[in-house]
Amino acid sequence: MSEENVVYIGNKPVMNYVLAVVTQMNGGTNEVILKARGRAISRAVDVAEIVRNRFITDVTIGSIDICTEEIMNNEGTSTNVSAIEILLSKEFSK
């Protein structure tokens, strides 16, 4: 999986990320990874569901990985932040 198949979810509107995933899938990519941390996790789930239910119906959820990342803030203290990776893969038509 190359880095260009990864969509990092942040604070932009959900449809911006949906467009990024749909564009990659229509460009020939069979797998896209959604990555999000903290409050953006729910937005990543929304993106996956919107892509799956409204735009590309033959996309499936390949795997979901969750973890905790340790982030250093400006004061030098560390904070734990939840993170998620959702693999979206396109089914091959037979």
d(CA 22, CA 53): 12
Count the neighbouring beta carbons within 10 Å of the beta carbon of residue 15.
Answer: 12
pLDDT at 73 over 90: no
The overall average pLDDT reported for the chain is 92
Q: What is the pLDDT, as a whole number, of residue 3? A: 72
The closest of 83, 87, 44 to 62, measured between CA atoms, is 87
Q: Which helix (H) or strand (E) holds 65?
A: strand 59-72
pLDDT at 91 over 60: yes
State the alpha helices, DSSP H only, in 27-94: 41-50
